C-alpha cells in the first residue's frame, strides 16, 4: 500500500493508510463502496479491482444511456451481482447522495467539467 506523503502529519498518514488498507483488504463480502468517475480509465480499473476483491460497488457515470460509459463496466466479472451504476451530476447534491448512500467508503475520482464560452482576453481585460 502506498503511503501518503505530502503535507500530512505522521498521525494523519497512519489514519489514512489504515483506512485505505481496511477498505482494500480481501475480506469484503459485505462492504459497499462508491467510485465516482467509474467509467474513466482509472475508475474502471478501480471498479475491476474492487469487484475482484468481493466488494459491492456503486460506480457513477455521467450518462447511463451511453454504452461507452457503461458497457465495459457491465462486462466486468462480478458486475451482474455486485455492481450498481448511478448517473450523477457532481454539482447536484441529490444525485451524489443517492450514489454514496449506504456506502462504507468513497473513492472520489470524478471532476465536474465546466466549459464556459471562451472570451477574447484582449477585449475582456483591455484598459
Same domain, 8 and 45: no
Predicted pLDDT of residue 114: 75
CA distance 77 to 74: 8
Predicted pLDDT of residue 58: 98
The pLDDT tens digits for 51-100 are 999 999 999 999 999 999 999 999 999 999 999 999 999 999 999 999 99
Predicted pLDDT of residue 73: 98
The pLDDT tens digits for 5-60 are 333 344 444 444 444 555 555 566 679 999 999 999 999 999 999 999 999 999 99
Same domain, 109 and 63: yes
Residue-range definition of the domain harbouring residue 74: 31-124
> What proportion of the chain, given as a percentage, has pLDDT over 90?
63
What are the beta bridge partners of residue 63? none
How many domains in the chain? 2
Same domain, 105 and 86: yes
Task: Count, in order, helices (H) and strands (E) of the chain.
Answer: 6, 4
Amino acid at each position: 500500500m502506498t503511503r501518503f506523503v505530502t503535507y500530512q502529519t505522521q498521525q494523519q498518514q497512519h489514519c489514512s493508510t489504515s483506512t485505505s488498507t481496511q477498505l482494500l483488504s480481501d475480506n469484503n463480502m459485505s462492504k459497499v463502496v462508491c467510485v465516482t468517475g467509474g467509467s474513466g480509465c482509472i475508475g474502471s480499473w478501480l471498479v475491476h479491482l474492487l469487484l475482484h476483491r468481493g466488494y459491492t460497488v456503486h460506480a457513477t457515470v455521467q450518462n447511463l444511456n451511453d454504452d461507452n460509459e457503461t458497457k465495459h463496466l457491465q462486462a466486468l466479472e462480478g458486475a451482474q451481482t455486485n455492481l450498481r451504476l448511478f448517473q450523477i451530476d457532481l454539482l447536484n447534491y441529490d444525485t451524489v447522495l443517492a450514489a454514496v448512500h449506504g456506502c462504507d467508503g468513497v473513492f472520489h475520482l470524478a471532476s465536474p467539467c465546466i466549459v464556459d464560452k471562451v472570451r477574447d482576453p484582449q477585449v475582456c481585460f483591455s484598459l
